[in-house]
A and B are shown apart, each in its own frame.
Chain A
Amino acid sequence: MYIPRRIYKKIFLSAMLLPSIVVASIFLAVPAALTLAISLTGLDYRFTWTWIGLRNYERLFRDPAFQLIVRATLIYVAGTLAFNTGVGLLIALITTHIRKSLGSFIRALWLLPRVLPSVVWAVLMMWIFSPMPTGFLNTVIKSLGGAPIPWTFKYYWPFLFIVNGFIGSSLSAIIFSSAIESIPPDYIIAAKVDGASSFTIIRKIVLPMIKWHIAFFVAYNTLSLLASFEYILLTLDGGPGYYSTEVMILHAYHLAFGQYMVAMNYGYAASIVTILFIIGLILSIIYWRIFRLKRLMLEARLE
């Protein structure tokens, strides 16, 4: 049977895209739609779908804890993003300016926290930075004659930035370093011939050439941090004080699955998640515009 080439091409492309469309719908689109639907119901321990419209959102905005969790989310996302991008860039720059094998080795070492099971990493960090005199750092300080410092208790945001940052910056280090290594060496040689210092080379040549990669990473990481709560849950669990590090998604988790008697407030928790979803959507559109990611998609600018 003769199928016209045009239609054949369309069928062929659809068939190739079908698996990923199916996976994306089942595991991404459908749960998102369901969460949106649940946020409009009063689903709780009774497991009955009772449509209550926007009442969950009303409750949420009137909840005195709402301001606290939004503040915590902003601090967390901004701080960890800065850490991930900054430290990743630093590692990438350093490891590409030394011998290639050594550079790869260091980047591989930096990847270790990411491949550790999250519970192991969290327990390790809690032990190192434990506020009790029995923690690792405090034992070292005590043996040097100092007083134990309540690390996770007083400096909890830097602690969280470090715990999450070691995980996130390994990815950015790899992206940025491969981007740097793909810069045509002619530019660097030309600049060196002109007498530019390393610092000037980095500022004027390397950074502008990898700006697409930085833009991509910032966009990707912001969205991923909005929904990341694993390490906060395992280490501080929203503490140490009254909602000090309770980010929005962690609060939703606690409302649905956590706390003393498993609150099971699914409808209410879903409303928080839906708000995060909308924020993520808006941010994606903004990033699309600002970073002109459309141009990124058209041509291969990201190797």
Chain B
Amino acid sequence: MHLLCKAMQKKSAFLIIVALVIGVVIGYVVGWGTAPQPTIQTVTLPPTTYTVTVTERPGVTPAPTQTVTVTVTPAIGVVQPSEIVITAWTQGPERESIYRQLNLELAAEKLNTILRDLNIPLTVRIEGEFSTASWTDYRKKLYMALEAGTGPCIFLTAHIDTAVLSENNWVIPLDEYIQKYWNFTYYDVIPGLWDAVRYKGRVWGVPQDTEARPIYFNKILLKRLGWSDEEINDLPRKIRDGEFTLEDMLRVAKEAVDKGVVEPGYAIWHRPNPGPDWPIVYLAYGGKLYDDTTGKLVADMRVWRKYFEFFYKASMQNYRLISDMLTSLDWNRDIHPTIVAGKVLFWMGGTWHKGQWVSSFGLTEEQFWEMFGFALYPAGEKGLKPVTLSQPMAYFISKACPYPELAFLIVTLATDPYLNSLHAVPSAHLAILYSQLVNPLYIRDRFLKETGYMVEYAKYQPLHPKWGEYSTSIFEIVKGIETGGFRSVDEALAAFKNLLTTRLGDNVIIIE
């Protein structure tokens, strides 16, 4: 610039600024000109009237029925070939559960086939993703999107989120749609599952799958301990009949450590992070989590004492059954490989872990049946019943969805015995429809057949917006006990009570 004289400098500067302004204007015009055009031009079709027989109490036959005349104004009407995009987000995190997303796409294909055959120039496309991130990351992303109004039309999440989703008005209640499409598939849903998605009297989601959380025991290690094959194969029955309790489990585990069959700390393993499994032992000791009359969570300190005593006895400070490093380990790097290598005697896991071990961790089906047996969580004491916990997944329809009924139709078409079995078998989740229990794909799987009975003993986590903090507090105290942070059960119990009162306030009823 110094090569130019003052006047030329001024002129050049002026020209640069003018060029910049013209460039911005051109860019804006080009952007406006090439913006994607909306593809839907709507025309309303005349409404149709039809009669529907509505069963008053679903799942109970014969049920009182009533005939209702329904007038339906179609949600959409089209005049030229067009495409409707329904966004859908689903979550694994394990890749084996990918049919949660694929089933929606297959359902859309079913619908498109019908539309094609009827010469209706409309296609429905499912757009979205199957997430393999952790549940915390997926929920964070989902909640933020729903709050911002940019969430997907259909999304999958655990039933436990129902309370939060409903309280924040992020999803629409589905009772009317379920009644309308009852005869498509909803008559077939195992009735208990509706309880898992019913909050404040309304149904908010469509169950997608369910599971059970059994205790896997290593048969080879038990044999090395001196058990005979009959005793090993009889263990699930003994647990189911209440003859083998949690105290017996501690005893057997202690024997294994003392005799050197397992290394200290490798007798009982559980998950390393917060999650649904933490209240199971509390339920096994007969504890209550939810009060129906007040809608508040419940903490029975007498039962929590037994719970923390169980973990305290099992920790490295006493019987040395649970490694103090367990809560610092990583699922995929440390935990699954160690269990698959046959180093752990009791694993408090989930049915889908079998699917993961066979698909991603190099265990063959034969090896699985040789190495592992599985049973309910034993009752805490004699006289109580064995339990397991199920956390069904459900599809929800968000309030911001522009085509809610179409989205619901997609979900309805995805909820069919074949498609659901395509999901259930490789990912080792349990059936949600009665027809699945006789579906050829489903019954061929020995594991699903042998775990089917667990659904009857299954309990659910309570639906309450503050449940997550309750559950996380349990985990934090157990972590503290196992790592030696608490020197006695009284200390742990006091810390637990403190956490509950600070974080939940009057959302929890504490029974001393």
Contacts and interface: CB of A to CB of B under 8 A. Distances in A.
B274 A241 contact: no
A153 B327 CA distance: 10
* 6 A-B pairs with the lowest CB-CB distances in the bound complex, closest first: A261-B468, A242-B480, A242-B485, A260-B274, A241-B483, A240-B328
A132 B483 contact: no
A73 interface: no
A241 B334 CA distance: 18
Contacts of A63: 498, 502
Contacts of A59: 502
B143 interface: yes
B136 A258 contact: yes
A197 interface: no
Interface in A205-256: 236, 239-244
A47 interface: yes
A248 to B, nearest CB: 16
Nearest to B135: A260
Contacts of A243: 476, 485
A132 B334 contact: yes
Given A63-B502, A240-B327, A260-B136, 8 more contacts: A59-B502, A63-B498, A64-B499, A134-B334, A240-B328, A260-B135, A260-B475, A262-B140
Contacts of A262: 136, 139-140, 143, 468
A224 B328 CA distance: 27
A62 B160 CA distance: 30
A152 B328 contact: yes
A150 interface: yes
Interface string A41-75: 00001110000000000010011110000000000
A239 B327 contact: yes
Contacts, number: 94
A101 interface: no
Nearest to A240: B328
Given A46-B168, A241-B483, A261 B471 contact: yes
Given A45-B465, A64-B495, A241-B483, A153 B472 contact: no
Given A131-B328, A132-B329, A264-B143, A240 B164 contact: no
Contact of B328 (A239, A257, A259): A239
30 contacts: A45-B164, A45-B167, A45-B465, A46-B167, A63-B498, A64-B495, A64-B502, A134-B334, A153-B325, A239-B327, A239-B479, A240-B483, A241-B485, A242-B477, A242-B479, A242-B485, A258-B136, A259-B274, A259-B472, A260-B273, A260-B468, A260-B475, A261-B160, A261-B161, A261-B164, A262-B139, A262-B140, A263-B469, A263-B472, A265-B503
Contacts of B467: 261
A253 to B, nearest CB: 11
**Counting chain A CB atoms within 10 Å of each CB, which of B140, B325, B334, B476 scores highest?**
B325
Q: Chain A binding site: helix, strand, loop or mixed by DSSP?
A: loop
A133 to B, nearest CB: 10
B506 interface: no
B324 interface: yes
B229 interface: no
B486 interface: yes
Contacts of A152: 328
Contacts of A130: 334
B231 interface: no
Contacts of A259: 136, 274, 468-469, 472
B147 interface: yes
A146 to B, nearest CB: 17
**Counting chain B CB atoms within 10 Å of each CB, which of A45, A239, A260, A263 scores highest?**
A260
B82 to A, nearest CB: 35
**Counting chain A CB atoms within 10 Å of each CB, which of B324, B328, B468 scores highest?**
B328
Nearest to A63: B502
B275 interface: yes
Contacts of B484: 241
A150 B475 CA distance: 22
Nearest to B275: A260
Contacts of A244: 483, 485
Nearest to B327: A239
Interface string B470-503: 0110011101100111100000000100110011
Interface in A89-133: 126, 130-132
Contacts of B325: 131-132, 150, 153, 240
Contacts of A261: 139, 160-161, 164, 467-469, 471-472
A241 B167 contact: no
A266 to B, nearest CB: 11
